[in-house]
Each structure stands twice: as structure tokens, then as C-alpha cells.
A and B are shown apart, each in its own frame.
Chain A
Amino acid sequence: MAEWTLFEVFVRSKHGLNHKHVGSVHAADAEMALENARDLYTRRNEGVSIWVVPSAAITATASDEKEPFFDPSEDKIYRHASFYQLPKEVDQM
């Protein structure tokens, strides 16, 4: 099965609003990838919707870019919404 394509699998759970990455499957085509994903990742009633995406179609950040990509946000605490006075009526946020 060396020539099968690798697909990344995203499943939306019953209570979730967004699809979450759960793993990957091999398949000859996208339809088969959906079915394989159904059989692998939704066996225990986990999902209501599945997306599959060819792994090759995903562009990812490179590990050597980690510092310029992510470090600059470390010291910018003003980006967190933690400086507002919450009205009393808003108990939890």
C-alpha cells in the first residue's frame, strides 16, 4: 500500500463546535479516507462530522522558525484580556 496517500483527519465531536485533529489514515482516495477515518476514529460514538485533508496539502511552520514565530508574543501581556474590570454581574469569564 506504499502508493496510498496519507490524509490528516479532523473530527467534530457531539459537543464541540470545531473540528479537531485526531490523527491520520492511509487511503487510495478521499472517499476511502473518510470511511477509514470513520472506522478508526469514530468507533465509540465520538463524532458528528469528519474532514480529511491530504497531508501534503498542509503547510506547517518549521521547527527552526520557532523562535521568530512564537517567542515575540511571550512578553506582550497586554494582549491578554486580563486588565479589564469586570462588572459584578459577570461572575465567571
Chain B
Amino acid sequence: MSQRNDLAEYLLRLGDSALVTGQRLCEWCGRAPALEEELALMNVGLDLIGQARGWYDYAAELLDDGRNADALAFKREERDFRNLLIVEQPNGDYAITTLKLFFYDAWHLPTLEQLSESSDERIAGVAGKALKEARYHFKRSSEWVIRLGDGTDESHRRISDAVDRLWRYTIEMVNIDPLEQELAKTGLAADPAFVAEQWQARVAKVFEEATLKLPEPAVPFYLNGRQGLHTEHLGQLLAEMQFLPRAYPDATW
């Protein structure tokens, strides 16, 4: 594959993780535990959907096959999605929602830090803007993990259960993907080794403050979001997200 295709693939990974996280957060609309939390979740979700648009626009230009950002978001199948497995997991209770977001934010932030210095100006531009948003997202989700972990007996139990349930998917934040490693060598993509190191350090620090036990590093298993091998939950999410543009192509309002 050419570098152009590799870069488009990488942009889809960034866009898909942001879009799927945004879609999951928007599922809380009308159901959040407090009005204030609802607004906060929608803010974060919409930030991420906006970022996804930035990545898709550029991916569409590189792919140059007639598809635009909307087509990439709404007309691709489950196997074509390249998002991290963690972000497609169901929201569960507030501890699971919080922890999913925290694991993603702790990966997203160092990724954007690197991308904001990408040798590709377009990437550096999108990342530079997104970075400010991601700093706030990380701060907010870290504080929630600490609040729940170091809170009441019940909140501690719930977030500990969330760690048990989600930890296996964190392998994707720390493994070294060959395509990303190649792109990082040319200064285009984030260096996966740097991101992994940052992710581990950030998670360890917050877990300590949250009085949470840090599990042994996760190990690879048979699924891999970057290769389109997803858990069963992504298909259901896409069915809901893509229903309208597929049922009513080119609908406007």
C-alpha cells in the first residue's frame, strides 16, 4: 500500500474512535444522572464528533473515491470501522461510562500532543485544535475516576467492577501497531511507543489517587479494532447511528 493509503487508514482510525465515543456519549442524552452531567457529556461527545469530521474530511480527500465525510461515517459497514474496541463497549452504569472515557482520553491526549507536531500541516492543524478539547476531557474524566474510586464503598465497588470488565480492551492503547510505527517514523503519525508509555503513566497515577488496584498489563486477544475485528456491540451501535441516512439517502433538514 502507498503511504497515501496508509495515511487515510490512520485518519479513519482517529475519526472512527472519536465518532463512536461521541455516539456512545450521546446515548446519555435525556438519561444522565443530573442535568449538569448531561450537558458535560454532550459537550464532550459533540467535541469528538467535530474532531471526527476533521479527520474524515482529510481521509476523504486522500481516498479520492467520491465519498465525503458523511459517507465515511454513515455508509461503511462494521468491518470497515477502525475504532478502538474500548469505545464501542456499551455504556453500562456511570462507572463504566466514566472509565471507558478515561481510558480513551488517556490515549487520545498524548496521541494529539504528537499529532499537533505532525509533519503534515493539515494533521497538525486538526490536532492542535482538538488538543485543547482533549486536555479538558482528560482532566474531567480523571477527576471522575478519582471521585468514584476514592468515594463511597459502592462507588469504589462499581468502578473496580468496571476495571475488571474493561481492562482487556486496553491492550489496544499499549500495543505497537506496525502501520502506525511506520507512519510515525516519517513524522506523520503519533509514535505508538510514546503513546503507550504516556497512557500507562497517566493511568497508574490516576489509579493510585483513586485507590484502585492497577491490573497486570492486558494481553492481546483475537479481536482488533484497527483491523475491523470488533465486539458484537459495534454492529448494534452502527445500526442505530446509520439508520436514518441509509433509510433516507441524502435526507436534509
Which of B33, B140, B147 interacts with A1 by CB under 8 Å?
B33
Tell me if A29 and B140 are in contact (CB < 8 A): no
B36, closest chain A residue (CB) = A36
Q: Does B247 contact A (CB under 8 A)?
A: no
Q: Does A22 contact B (CB under 8 A)?
A: no
Which of A32, A38, A43 interacts with B143 by CB under 8 Å?
A32
Tell me if A32 and B34 are in contact (CB < 8 A): no
Q: List 12 A-B contacts (CB under 8 A).
A: A1-B34, A4-B34, A25-B36, A26-B34, A31-B143, A32-B147, A35-B139, A36-B37, A36-B39, A38-B136, A39-B39, A39-B40
Q: Does A27 contact B (CB under 8 A)?
A: yes
Contacts A39-B43, A43-B43 given: A27-B36 contact, CB under 8 Å? Answer: yes
Number of B interface residues at 8 Å Cβ cutoff, please give it.
13
Closest Cβ of chain A to B22, distance in Å, is: 15
- Chain A 1-58 residues near chain B, CB threshold 8 A: 1, 4, 25-29, 31-32, 35-36, 38-40, 43
Tell me if B143 and A26 are in contact (CB < 8 A): no
Q: Which residues of B contact A38 (CB under 8 A)?
A: 136
Closest Cβ of chain A to B156, distance in Å, is: 15
Contacts A35-B140, A39-B43, A43-B43 given: A26-B36 contact, CB under 8 Å? Answer: yes
Closest Cβ of chain A to B163, distance in Å, is: 21
Q: Which residues of A contact B136 (CB under 8 A)?
A: 38
Give the distance in Å from the alpha carbon of A26 to the alpha carbon of B37 in the complex.
9
Tell me if B36 and A40 are in contact (CB < 8 A): yes
B143, closest chain A residue (CB) = A31
Give the distance in Å from the alpha carbon of A25 to the alpha carbon of B39 in the complex.
11
Which of A29, A31, A40 interacts with B39 by CB under 8 Å?
A40
Closest Cβ of chain B to A31, distance in Å, is: 6
Q: Which residues of A contact B34 (CB under 8 A)?
A: 1, 4, 26
Q: Which residues of A contact B139 (CB under 8 A)?
A: 35
Q: Which residues of A contact B40 (CB under 8 A)?
A: 35-36, 39
